[in-house]
Amino acid sequence: MVEKKEYKEWPPFAPGTHLHDSDIKEKKVNYTWWEPEVQYSWSLGPAMSKFLQGLKNGIIYGIHCKRCKRVLVPPRSFCEYCYGPTEEWVELKDTGTIETFSISYIDADARRIEEPILIGVISIDGASPQHGFMHYFGEMSKDEIKIGMKVKAVWKSENEREGSITDIKYFKPLKGGAE
């Protein structure tokens, strides 16, 4: 039976047992270890398929939504705001502007790394303002990187490209005019 408790302060106490890392390492508590073996094969869909093919050929594609008057990148089969199908592929430039960035000293598993990774969002020239994707930055130091900096993609060599976002190695500062 649960009876009403009239404590003055809520929560009155904190039920639960703290487990320290050492409890696990020294097997002071009982546990079961499990390594999942799940694999995936995701369908790309027509839009991503063409985008990745474009990257393999050294081209960044965007797509036009006529109703919203937006050129979208990354391209998609339908516009998520007006909810209609997108039309016409647009070849975009491989230059852009840094919208935001971070200087990371941790990797994907939260492990510490010595040399920081420069990562951020680049809005691509030729697409609508503030439309772009996330990628690495290179050939610049953590003191040089700035929001608003103009950058250019550095591509892998043609035979190294495999149709992936990593066909672009990183974006470097765009100095002066075109290279």
Partner 1 sequence: MTYGEKQTDPTAPMHWRGDMQADYMYPSGIAGDKFFNHLKEKDTFLATKCKTCNKVLFPPRLYCEDCFNEIPESDWIEVPASGSVKNFTVAALNAHGEKLQEPKVIAMIDIDNTDGALLGIIKTNDYEKDFSGLKVKANLRPKGKREGTLKDILYWE
Partner 2 sequence: MKEVAVIGGGMTLFRRRLKETGKELSYLATKMAMEDAGIQKDDIDMVVMGSAPDAFDGIHMKGENLLDGAAAAGKPYVRVFNGGGTGVFAPIAGWWHVASGVADVCLVVCEEKMGSCYPHPQTAFRHIWDPILDRPLNPNLVWLFAMEMNRYMTVHNIKKEDIARVAVKNKRNAVGHPCAQLADPNITVEDVLNSEVLAWPVQRLDISPPSDGAAALIYCSKDVVHKFTDDPIYVAGVGWNIDSTMWTNRDLYFPRYVANAAKMCYKMAGITNPRKDIDFAEPYDPFDYKELHHMEGLLLCDKGEAPILTREGVTQRDGDLPICPSGGLLGVGNPIAATMGQKVCELYWQLAGKAGKRQIPGDPRMGVGQAWGDIMQMSTVIALRRG
Q: Which residues bind partner 2 (CB under 8 A)?
A: 1-5, 7-21, 23-24, 29, 34, 36, 40, 42, 44, 48, 52, 72, 74, 76, 80-81, 99-111, 116, 119-121, 128, 130-136, 142, 147, 164-166
From the list partner 1, partner 2, none, partner contacted by residue 174 (C-beta under 5 to 8 A by kind): none
Among 132, 129, 101, 133, CA closest to 117: 101
Among 72, 74, 65, CA closest to 168: 74
**Least distance to partner 2 from the beta carbon of 158, Å?**
19
* Candidates 80-88, 91-99, 139-147, 149-157; binding stretch for partner 1 (CB under 8 A): 80-88
ω into residue 74 within 30 of 0, thus cis? yes
* Candidates 29-37, 90-98, 99-107, 136-144; binding stretch for partner 1 (CB under 8 A): 29-37
Among 4, 13, 26, 43, binds partner 1 (CB under 8 A): 43
Q: Which two three-digit tokens encode residue 120?
A: 């951020």
- Within the chain, what is the greatest distance between any pair of CA atoms? 79
Q: What is the CA angle 23-26-29, rounded to 5? A: 50
Beta strand pairing call for 95-106 and 70-72: unpaired
* Candidates 4-12, 83-91, 142-150, 167-175; binding stretch for partner 1 (CB under 8 A): 83-91
Given the complex with partner 1, which of 89 and 136 has the nearer CB atom? 89
Rounded to whole angstroms, the Cα distance separating 165 from 48 reads 11
Distances (CA, A) of 62 to 151, 158, 169: 18, 21, 19
Among 86, 98, 120, 122, binds partner 1 (CB under 8 A): 86
Residues of this chain that bind partner 1 (CB under 8 A): 1-2, 17, 19, 24, 29-36, 38-50, 52-53, 63, 75-78, 85-88, 163
